[in-house]
């Protein structure tokens, strides 16, 4: 690619327009022409940069994964190593607190009911979150077995997702801190061994 930088900028511009359309109309009803109009770019360019709708859905998922991993990589205060609690805080406070992400996620979940490949990609995305949470617990010496850590991570992710979903419905009582506090209690009550606080090397 001759001018990758330029390409990245345009792609970003187009994806942002695509996300706006998705929130307004849903993925199924969003066309390349809609995105062209929203981004103020010619349809041919939209197609050139992001391909067809299936490609856009792929890019959308990749973008969400990137955002999540980016957030997870930078969540700790710089003064100390990252802990499992930071991770849980991040899930409750950031991941599902973004209206745009929630809308896009809602779209993807809906599509996944009839699209095996989207279902698999979503499952991989959430599987990655669980994997990272388990790794963090292990680094913190939390939990006495891999199975125990995995169960805790599954439960916490379900809790985060359920709470965020009901909050979207506007249910009173789902916006409080109870679930978040409970998730931290789950971590706190797991057995710990030799509390090596983290096995990560400081990278900065």
List helix spans (H) across the chain. Answer: 4-25, 32-39, 43-50, 53-73, 84-90, 99-112, 116-139, 146-168, 178-189
Tell the smallest beta-carbon distance from residue 165 to its own copies (Å).
6
133 in contact with its own copies (CB under 8 A): no
162 in contact with its own copies (CB under 8 A): yes
Closer CB to its own copies, 15 or 179, in the complex: 179
Distance CA 196, CA 41 (A): 53
Tell the smallest beta-carbon distance from residue 186 to its own copies (Å).
8
Closer CB to its own copies, 139 or 186, in the complex: 186
**What angle (nearest 5°) sits at the alpha carbon of residue 101, between those of residues 153 and 127?**
30
Q: Note whether 101 and 164 are within 8 A (CB).
A: no
Q: What crossing angle do the helices spanning 4-25 and 53-73 adopt, rounded to 10°?
A: 100
**Looking at 20, 43, 76, 150, which residue binds its own copies (CB under 8 A)?**
150
Q: Note whether 182 and 159 are within 8 A (CB).
A: yes
37 in contact with its own copies (CB under 8 A): no
174 in contact with its own copies (CB under 8 A): yes
Candidates 33-41, 114-122, 137-145, 193-201: pick the segment binding its own copies (CB under 8 A).
Answer: 114-122
Closer CB to its own copies, 46 or 159, in the complex: 159
Candidates 4-12, 35-43, 166-174, 196-204: pick the segment binding its own copies (CB under 8 A).
Answer: 166-174
For 181, half-sphere exposure in the C-beta direction (CA atoms, 13 angstrom radius) is: 5
Distance CA 113, CA 68 (A): 23
Residues of this chain that interact with its own copies (CB under 8 A) are: 26, 103, 106, 109-110, 112-114, 119-120, 122-123, 126-127, 130, 150-151, 154-155, 157-163, 165-166, 168-171, 173-174, 176, 178-179, 182, 186
């Amino acid at each position: 690619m001759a001018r990758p930088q330029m390409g990245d900028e345009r792609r970003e511009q187009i994806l942002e327009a695509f996300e706006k359309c998705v929130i307004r109309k849903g993925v199924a009803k969003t066309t390349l022409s809609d995105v062209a109009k929203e981004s103020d770019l010619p349809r041919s360019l939209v197609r050139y940069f992001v391909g067809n709708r299936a490609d856009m859905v792929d890019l959308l998922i990749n973008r969400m994964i990137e955002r999540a991993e980016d957030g997870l990589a930078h969540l700790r205060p710089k003064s100390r190593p990252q802990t499992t609690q930071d991770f849980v805080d991040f899930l409750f406070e950031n991941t599902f607190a973004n209206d745009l992400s929630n809308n896009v996620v809602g779209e993807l979940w809906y599509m996944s009911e009839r699209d095996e490949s989207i279902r698999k990609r979503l499952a991989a995305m959430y599987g990655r979150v669980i994997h990272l949470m388990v790794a963090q617990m292990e680094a913190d010496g939390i939990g006495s077995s891999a199975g125990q850590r995995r169960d805790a991570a599954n439960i916490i992710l379900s809790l985060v997702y359920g709470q965020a979903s009901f909050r979207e419905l506007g249910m009173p009582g789902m916006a409080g801190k109870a679930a978040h506090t409970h998730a931290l209690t789950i971590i706190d009550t797991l057995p710990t061994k030799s509390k090596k606080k983290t096995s990560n090397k400081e990278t900065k």
